A and B are shown apart, each in its own frame.
Chain A
Amino acid sequence: MLSAAVWLTLKLALTTTLILMVTGIPLAWKLSTMRSRLRPVIEALVGLPLVLPPTVLGFYLLLAFSPNNPPGQLWLSITGSTLAFSFSGLVVASVLYSLPFVVQPLQRSFEQLDHGLLEAAAMLGARRLDRFMTIVLPNTQRALLLAACMGFAHTVGEFGVVLMIGGNIPGETQVLSIALFDAVETQQFATAHTIAGGLLAFAMALLVVLYSIDRRGNQR
């Protein structure tokens, strides 16, 4: 049972991180170069999960996923199954939930980039995508790694949202945080210690890695 939860958690965190990197990079770049008055509004929307209780997000998602409402209806008509209590539903929720953890470090790093370099490349005839791939990405490697790690770690730790929309199905929606909750509620403290200790060690190890990368970057 535990190994299924570990595997599911990893699968969820990996899928979410991949989607977030693919969508978060262009979004962060767009935000970093945006001059519109809409920018604070979009930034607020992206940052919302940072301040919003996860249960609020879970509650709205539960309503949105319901076949009684348009988003849930649409999903049901396309896939033939409901979005709540499915792995896909967890992915949708996690992407929303972990979005700021990926976009914000990326945006900060993009803003600090030396834009003179980009102008020079443009004058030499490099196209937009080319400039992005050869100048922006290589110069923001640390931020990319940081963003991916934060998105991953945050998805691993997700609890409130999964509890609200997950339905606790082993192998499908029962992630580690839910298994931990189960174990504590049923006074299986040995299992609880294993899960909690494992998650603690994981978080600590991840932060040590992140901070040591940060140190190396600063010394350079």
Chain B
Amino acid sequence: MQSKALRIVLCGLALLTTMLSPIANAANLRLAVAANFKPVIDELAKEFEQQHDSKVLVSSASSGTLYNQISNGAPFDLFLSADAERPARLEQDDLIVPGSREPYAYGRLVLWSTSDSPLSLKTLEEYKGRLAIANPALAPYGLAAQQTLEKMHLWQGYQGRLIQGANIQQTWQFVVSGNVSLGLVAKSQVMDQPESHLLEIPEDYYAPIRQELVLLKRSKQPLAKIFRDFLLSDTSQAYIANHGYRPAK
């Protein structure tokens, strides 16, 4: 009796999946996007959908997670990484369309505080509390934060006081929730903050946060290349520049 009911439920589920999957596979473009770029890509994708009468599905996670998913056969057409390292590795793995690796934006690091006292590089030197950064081993913004602190000879002094987010989103969340009062985050995350709470880190303090995109080999979606050109177009690049990134061109 019970097993019969179970079988009916399972059949129903199987039917549902087969019914739904063709819709999901229609003229859709599947993007794998580093979490920091999600808000920007959401807006650009809307624009693209209107221009090309198609649907853009955005999956966002950390670049490491997306790299793992792609290596294991995840069905994406285009990968927008937060770094250049993962795309390069995918190229070595022979998983990308040859020659498709290209930067689409450069990230910018800012010092961000929720308190009203004015910020300068001196703040970093004199600050005694905990500092939120992204994990340098996982996130390019974390690596940039480490390079900045090393350049200022502060890295040693901050050991044990660094609160590391798994990604730059979490780092932002640590500061915005009030648990840490100072953090090194992405400029794109704090565009709406009062300027007195922000200090842009000089760009020669860290290696460029070069965010690269790649077309994935397993994709048969012709829209992928069109989306890439759209992203690198002057209009899109201007939009990207207005949202806390340095444009790629």
Cβ of B163 < 8 Å from any Cβ of A?
yes
Task: Tell me if B138 and A167 are in contact (CB < 8 A).
Answer: no
Task: Tell me if B164 and A185 are in contact (CB < 8 A).
Answer: no
Of chain A, the residue at the smallest CB distance from B181 is A67
Cβ of A63 < 8 Å from any Cβ of B?
yes
CB within 8 Å for A85 and B163 given contacts A62-B179, A63-B177, A167-B174 = yes
Cβ of B217 < 8 Å from any Cβ of A?
no
Task: Tell me if B160 and A184 are in contact (CB < 8 A).
Answer: no
Q: Which of B68, B130, B179 contacts A187 (CB 8 A)?
A: B68
Of chain A, the residue at the smallest CB distance from B89 is A187
CB within 8 Å for A182 and B179 given contacts A85-B163, A167-B165 = no
Task: Tell me if A185 and B162 are in contact (CB < 8 A).
Answer: no
Task: Tell me if B166 and A163 are in contact (CB < 8 A).
Answer: yes
A76 to B165 CA separation, bound complex (whole angstroms): 22
CB within 8 Å for A66 and B130 given contacts A167-B163, A186-B64 = no
Minimum CB–CB distance for B72 against chain A, Å: 11
Cβ of B135 < 8 Å from any Cβ of A?
yes
A189 to B174 CA separation, bound complex (whole angstroms): 28
How many of chain B's residues have a CB under 8 angstroms from any CB in A? 24
A169 to B162 CA separation, bound complex (whole angstroms): 7
A72 to B178 CA separation, bound complex (whole angstroms): 10
How many of chain A's residues have a CB under 8 angstroms from any CB in B? 22
Cβ of B112 < 8 Å from any Cβ of A?
no
Task: Tell me if A184 and B137 are in contact (CB < 8 A).
Answer: no
Of chain B, the residue at the smallest CB distance from A66 is B178
CB within 8 Å for A65 and B163 given contacts A187-B64, A187-B67 = no
Contacts of A184 in B (CB 8 A): 64, 68
Contacts of B137 in A (CB 8 A): 182, 185-186
A169 to B180 CA separation, bound complex (whole angstroms): 14
Task: Tell me if A169 and B179 are in contact (CB < 8 A).
Answer: no
A62 to B174 CA separation, bound complex (whole angstroms): 8
Question: Which of A84, A163, A167, A172 has the most C-beta atoms of chain B within 10 angstroms of its own C-beta?
Answer: A167
Cβ of A87 < 8 Å from any Cβ of B?
no
CB within 8 Å for A185 and B166 given contacts A85-B130, A167-B174, A168-B135 = yes
Task: Tell me if A182 and B138 are in contact (CB < 8 A).
Answer: yes
CB within 8 Å for A169 and B178 given contacts A85-B130, A182-B135, A187-B67 = no
Q: Interface 1/0s, chain A 61-93, versus B by CB < 8 A?
A: 011011111001000000000101100000000
Interface set of A (CB-CB < 8 Å, partner B): 62-63, 65-69, 72, 82, 84-85, 163, 167-169, 172, 181-182, 184-187
> Considering the complex of A and B, which 10 residue pairs feature the smallest CB-CB distances, nearest first?
A185-B64, A167-B163, A68-B178, A66-B178, A168-B164, A84-B179, A85-B163, A185-B138, A66-B177, A66-B179
A-B contact pairs, 15 of them (CB 8 A): A66-B177, A66-B179, A68-B177, A72-B178, A82-B130, A84-B179, A85-B163, A85-B174, A85-B180, A167-B165, A168-B163, A172-B160, A185-B65, A185-B166, A187-B68
5 further A-B pairs in the complex, CB-CB below 8 A; given A62-B179, A168-B164: A85-B174, A85-B180, A167-B174, A184-B68, A186-B137
